[in-house]
């Protein structure tokens, strides 16, 4: 009997020892999409190099924010790192959910490694404060895909030029974008002009509208004073909303709750000539198994507005260390590895959208896929939504005001944006901003 | 073991479970409803008195959400009662394969809300949906039309929950004594007279129970409306509550809204129950 007990205790001891030998583990939390799979492939190489097991845990986009903040609020240590949305920076840093990375940032000169816009929007909070909370991880922005075969059809080209007086091609500005959408909008042929974001559940509608707003020279407000009156409801913003609403008239039927899935379907199902989407979803359009029109799909960056301003709405995420992680030291070591040039290059090769300036600028990257050039151009012209802790309220108010106007045709653009400006002023006042 | 011990053994775990998972959160959230607490921050909760309730009750958006919810409840529950009771009347006679038919008709309410939502989203699709094809409506946009979307959701809800009303109505109809119908037939009473003087009064109590359950459920509806459409005209109060609590993290404010909803559901249920008691007394 004693022998049995001794054996049992030894077995338990060995098990515990072996568990502790594999205790160097990191868990990264991200949304469920292709880049997360690419990241898992990348971190497998980190495991091969260091022996540290890194797992990328995912959840559907619809639950991502809720699940992440629920874990933060519970001060849970389930995740060591999180690839969080840029809008979360304010909420997560002010609440102490993210570890401040300013020292790491400066010591490793991350600001020199990553593209400036990604540092500004994915990492720094408050704006221009020199305080950093994330490392730019997945660069992303809203770009466009289009049907090359429709655009290059000689009959279509002749008809377009006869109607509009200039050749059919990738739109150089929003006026041309509108003309092309109108030209291809043929409901009787089950062919439509354009696919845009309209889903008002989270940030889709805001991202779509921002593409119009920023390129029309408009702004959401003043990020330093939080002044919005005369800015979000100024003439440029009103023109941008009019332009976006007009584009909605050229979308396929039922385009009232659409985000990345539907907008890729617009291309794969032969529904639309052009489709707005985040660059992160473009790899699926080049895959012939998911897109029968892969060979005929082209890509372009958001066109300029009437005054030549050219900007795009920022997507993408930075990677942050969670304050409640038990493995912060190990997480920092991982970040040191992640920002290395060779890692960033490998990240891009696997399909991740690197934010590394050197990789982005290299000819190798820009020519690697048909959309990388558009992505490169876009990543230097991006702007983002408010990143303050109350961003979700501001986003909800934007959805409440813009959606009925864009989809339902309620009110004028000026009335809609006046109401939004009033909402935002009240929200900023509630949280004591700009006073 | 004594009878008392056995009784306690069965009751105490349930009571503990109820206190820990229902009563305690209920009281805790009541406390939060008087604070400006935000669960996304580590800031302490500050007592703000009735401010949250005042803000919510004077917010035109919240009243719009309540109006939408009321409209949805009326359309959905009325539709379920008409369809459910009608089908029950048809089934309350000798027909071939009655058991099989009843079982098949019960299938919709056994499906998950999410599945039903996605299923109806496809049926309503203007490009390939079978509803427009069957009704010859071309590219009619059921879910994109702000005036139609709420009715489209209500139709899906009626499809799903009419069987529940049907089931209860069938139970009520089968309990109506046959001799009453025989007496009515001897007196040459018309079908309508028989229905309004015999069938409806005797089935009314059980029908009222079905209406109470369906009203409470329809008032709290979330899944179908969330999956099918994102129109401001379909934002029922539970969707607003979800966004406020878990997207905007206005925890204190959302607790107050949850209490306002609770009080409304209780008030409506009480009115129904009083009416039910009156019906029973007749």
Residue A191: exposed, middle, or buried by beta-carbon count in 10 A (0-12, 13-18, 19+)?
middle
Q: Band of the pLDDT at B229, cuts 50, 70, 90? A: confident
Question: Residues near A186 by Cβ (< 8 Å), separated by ≥ 6?
Answer: A192
Give me the pLDDT at residue A216, please: 97
Of A201, A254, A400, the CB nearest to B141: A254
Residue A183 CA to residue A153 CA, distance in Å, equals 13
Residue A209 CA to residue B204 CA, distance in Å, equals 53
The β-bridge partners of A322 are A98
Give me the pLDDT at residue B144, please: 83
Q: Do A202 and B247 touch (CB under 8 A)?
A: yes
pLDDT in tens, A160-211: 999 999 999 999 999 999 999 999 999 999 999 999 999 988 889 999 999 9
Query: Helix or strand or coil: residue A299?
Result: strand
pLDDT in tens, B171-207: 999 999 999 999 999 999 999 999 999 999 999 999 9
Residue B120 CA to residue B132 CA, distance in Å, equals 12
Output the average pLDDT for chain A. 92
A344, A394: one domain: no
Cα end-to-end span (Å), chain B: 48
| Interface residues of chain A, partner chain B, Cβ below 8 Å | 65-66, 69-70, 72-73, 91, 94-96, 187, 190, 199-202, 252-257, 271, 389-390, 392-393, 396, 400, 403-404, 407-408, 410
A122, A163: one domain: no
A165, A275: one domain: yes
A199, A293: one domain: yes
Q: Do A73 and B139 touch (CB under 8 A)?
A: no
Examine residue A4 and state whether it is found in any structural domain, yes or no.
no
- Contacting residues of B for A96, CB less than 8 Å apart: 42
Give me the pLDDT at residue B139, please: 84
Examine residue A375 and state whether it is found in any structural domain, yes or no.
yes
pLDDT over 50 at B215, yes or no: yes
Residue A271: exposed, middle, or buried by beta-carbon count in 10 A (0-12, 13-18, 19+)?
buried
Of A73, A254, A393, the CB nearest to B144: A254
- Assign residue A287 the CATH number of its domain: 3.40.190.10
Average pLDDT over every residue of B82-111: 93
For the record, the structure tokens of B58 come out as: 């004077």
Examine residue A2 and state whether it is found in any structural domain, yes or no.
no
Residue A327: exposed, middle, or buried by beta-carbon count in 10 A (0-12, 13-18, 19+)?
buried
- Contacting residues of A for B121, CB less than 8 Å apart: none
Would you put residue A51 in left (φ > 0), alpha (ψ -120 to 50) or beta? left
In this structure, of A94-98, A379-383, B227-231, the range with the lowest mean pLDDT score is: B227-231
Give me the pLDDT at residue B275, please: 87
Q: How far is A69 from chain B (nearest CA, A)?
A: 6
Average pLDDT over every residue of B73-97: 94
Q: Do B248 and A390 touch (CB under 8 A)?
A: yes
pLDDT in tens, A64-86: 988 999 899 889 999 999 999 98
Number of A to B CB contacts under 8 A, please give it: 79
Q: How far is B246 from chain A (nearest CA, A)?
A: 6
- Contacting residues of B for A95, CB less than 8 Å apart: 40-43
Give me the pLDDT at residue B106, please: 95
Examine residue A422 and state whether it is found in any structural domain, yes or no.
yes
A163, A272: one domain: yes
Residue A354 CA to residue A349 CA, distance in Å, equals 9
Give me the pLDDT at residue A9, please: 53
A256, A400: one domain: yes
What is the domain extent for residue A126? Answer: 26-140+315-383
Q: Yes or no: say if A168 and A248 are a contact pair by the CB < 8 Å rule.
A: no
Give me the pLDDT at residue A361, please: 92
The β-bridge partners of A319 are A83, A135
pLDDT in tens, A17-46: 444 444 589 999 999 988 999 999 999 999
Give me the pLDDT at residue B230, please: 76
| Interface residues of chain B, partner chain A, Cβ below 8 Å | 39-43, 61, 124-127, 139, 141, 143-144, 146, 229-233, 243, 246-250
A264, A289: one domain: yes
- Contacting residues of B for A199, CB less than 8 Å apart: 230
Percent of chain A topping pLDDT 90: 80
Query: From residue A285, how far is each of A158, A266, A270, A292, A303 by CA, in Å?
Result: 27, 11, 12, 9, 20
- Contacting residues of B for A404, CB less than 8 Å apart: 146, 232
Q: Do B229 and A404 touch (CB under 8 A)?
A: no
- Contacting residues of A for B146, CB less than 8 Å apart: 404, 407-408, 410
A401, A415: one domain: yes
Which helix (H) or strand (E) segment holds residue A140: the answer is none
pLDDT over 50 at A331, yes or no: yes
Q: Yes or no: say if A136 and A122 are a contact pair by the CB < 8 Å rule.
A: yes
pLDDT in tens, B116-175: 999 999 999 988 899 999 999 988 889 888 889 999 999 999 999 999 999 999 999 999
pLDDT over 70 at B17, yes or no: yes
pLDDT over 60 at A1, yes or no: no
Give me the pLDDT at residue B93, please: 87
Q: Yes or no: say if A367 and A275 are a contact pair by the CB < 8 Å rule.
A: no
Average pLDDT over every residue of A306-312: 94
Give me the pLDDT at residue A17, please: 46
Length of chain A: 435
Examine residue A1 and state whether it is found in any structural domain, yes or no.
no
Q: Yes or no: say if B249 and B40 are a contact pair by the CB < 8 Å rule.
A: yes
Look at strands A317-321 and A297-300 and give their pairing: unpaired
Q: Band of the pLDDT at A11, cuts 50, 70, 90? A: low
A133, A171: one domain: no
Count of helix runs (H) and strand runs (E) in chain B: 14, 0
Give me the pLDDT at residue A234, please: 97
A275, A364: one domain: no
Residue B9: exposed, middle, or buried by beta-carbon count in 10 A (0-12, 13-18, 19+)?
exposed
A53, A194: one domain: no
Q: Yes or no: say if B65 and B265 are a contact pair by the CB < 8 Å rule.
A: no
Q: Do A190 and B127 touch (CB under 8 A)?
A: yes
Q: Do A257 and B248 touch (CB under 8 A)?
A: no
A288, A402: one domain: yes
Examine residue A231 and state whether it is found in any structural domain, yes or no.
yes
pLDDT over 50 at A52, yes or no: yes
Q: Do A253 and B43 touch (CB under 8 A)?
A: no
Average pLDDT over every residue of B48-69: 95
Examine residue A6 and state whether it is found in any structural domain, yes or no.
no
Question: Residues near A302 by Cβ (< 8 Å), separated by ≥ 6?
Answer: A141, A142, A143, A144, A211, A215, A310, A311, A312, A313, A378, A381
Q: Band of the pLDDT at B233, cuts 50, 70, 90? A: confident
Output the average pLDDT for chain B. 92
The whole-angstrom distance between residue B111's C-alpha and the CA centroid of its chain comes to 15
Examine residue A115 and state whether it is found in any structural domain, yes or no.
yes
Domains of chain B: 59-281 (1.10.3720.10)
pLDDT over 70 at A6, yes or no: no
Give me the pLDDT at residue A10, please: 52
Query: ipTM of this predicted complex?
Result: 0.70
Q: Do A69 and B248 touch (CB under 8 A)?
A: no
- Contacting residues of B for A393, CB less than 8 Å apart: 248, 250
Q: Yes or no: say if B171 and B206 are a contact pair by the CB < 8 Å rule.
A: yes
Domain count, chain A: 2
């Amino acid at each position: 009997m004693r022998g049995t007990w001794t054996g049992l205790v030894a077995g338990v001891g060995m098990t515990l020892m072996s568990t502790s030998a594999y205790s160097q583990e990191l868990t990264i939390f991200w949304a469920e999409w292709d880049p997360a799979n690419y990241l898992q492939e990348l971190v497998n190489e980190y495991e091969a190099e260091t022996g540290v097991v890194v797992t990328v845990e995912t959840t559907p986009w619809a639950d991502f924010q809720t699940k992440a903040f629920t874990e933060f609020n519970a001060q849970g240590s389930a995740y060591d790192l999180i690839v969080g949305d840029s809008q979360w920076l304010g909420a997560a840093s002010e609440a102490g959910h993210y570890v401040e990375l300013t020292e790491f940032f400066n010591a490793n000169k991350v600001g020199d490694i990553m593209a400036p816009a990604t540092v500004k929007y994915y990492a720094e909070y408050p704006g221009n404060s020199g305080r950093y909370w994330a490392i730019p991880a997945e660069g992303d922005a809203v770009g466009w895909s289009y049907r090359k075969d429709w655009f290059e059809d000689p009959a279509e080209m002749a008809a377009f030029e006869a109607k509009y007086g200039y050749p059919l091609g990738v739109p150089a500005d929003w006026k041309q974008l509108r003309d092309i959408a109108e030209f291809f909008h043929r409901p009787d042929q089950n062919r439509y002009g354009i696919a845009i974001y309209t889903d008002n559940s989270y940030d889709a509608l805001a991202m779509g509208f921002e593409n119009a707003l920023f390129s029309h020279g408009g702004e959401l407000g003043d990020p330093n004073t939080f002044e919005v009156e005369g800015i979000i409801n100024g003439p440029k913003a009103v023109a941008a909303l009019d332009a976006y609403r007009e584009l909605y008239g050229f979308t396929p039927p039922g385009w009232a709750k659409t985000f990345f899935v539907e907008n890729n379907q617009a291309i794969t199902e032969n529904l639309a000539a052009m489709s707005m989407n985040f660059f992160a979803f473009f790899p699926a359009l080049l895959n012939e198994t998911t897109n029968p029109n892969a060979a005929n799909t082209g890509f372009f960056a958001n066109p300029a507005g009437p005054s030549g301003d050219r900007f795009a709405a920022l997507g993408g995420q930075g990677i942050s260390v969670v304050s409640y992680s038990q493995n912060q030291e190990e997480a920092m070591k991982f970040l040191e590895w992640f920002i290395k040039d060779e890692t960033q290059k490998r990240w891009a090769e696997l399909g991740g959208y690197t934010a590394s300036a050197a990789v982005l600028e290299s000819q190798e990257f820009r020519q690697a896929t048909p959309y990388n050039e558009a992505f490169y151009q876009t990543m230097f012209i991006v702007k983002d939504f408010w990143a303050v802790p109350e961003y979700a309220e501001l986003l909800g108010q934007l959805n409440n005001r813009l959606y009925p106007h864009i989809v339902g045709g309620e009110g004028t653009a000026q009335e809609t944006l006046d109401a939004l400006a009033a909402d935002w002023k009240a929200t900023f006042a509630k949280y004591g901003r700009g006073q | 073991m004594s009878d008392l011990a056995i009784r306690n053994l069965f009751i105490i775990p349930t009571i503990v479970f109820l206190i820990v998972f229902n009563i305690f959160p209920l009281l805790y959230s009541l406390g939060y409803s008087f604070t400006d607490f935000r669960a996304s921050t580590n800031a302490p909760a500050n007592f703000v008195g009735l401010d949250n309730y005042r803000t919510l009750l004077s917010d035109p958006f919240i009243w719009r959400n309540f109006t939408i919810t009321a409209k949805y409840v009326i359309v959905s529950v009325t539709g379920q009662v008409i369809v459910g009771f009608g089908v029950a009347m048809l089934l309350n006679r000798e027909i071939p394969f009655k058991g099989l038919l009843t079982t098949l008709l019960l299938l919709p309410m056994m499906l998950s809300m999410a599945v039903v939502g996605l299923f109806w989203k496809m049926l309503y699709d203007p490009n390939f949906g079978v509803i427009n094809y069957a009704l010859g409506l071309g590219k009619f946009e059921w879910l994109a039309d702000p005036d139609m979307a709420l009715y489209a959701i209500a139709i899906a809800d009626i499809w799903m929950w009419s069987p529940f009303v049907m089931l209860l109505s069938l139970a009520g109809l089968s309990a109506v004594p046959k001799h009453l119908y025989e007496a009515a037939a001897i007196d040459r009473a018309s079908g309508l007279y028989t229905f309004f003087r015999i069938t409806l009064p005797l089935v009314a109590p059980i029908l009222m129970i079905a209406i109470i359950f369906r009203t409470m459920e329809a008032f709290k509806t979330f899944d179908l409306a969330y999956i099918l459409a994102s129109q401001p005209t379909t934002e029922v109060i539970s969707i607003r509550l979800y966004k406020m609590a878990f997207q905007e993290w206005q925890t204190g404010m959302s607790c107050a809204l949850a209490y306002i909803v609770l009080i409304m559901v209780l008030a409506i249920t009480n009115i129904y129950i009083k009416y039910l008691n009156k019906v029973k007394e007749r």
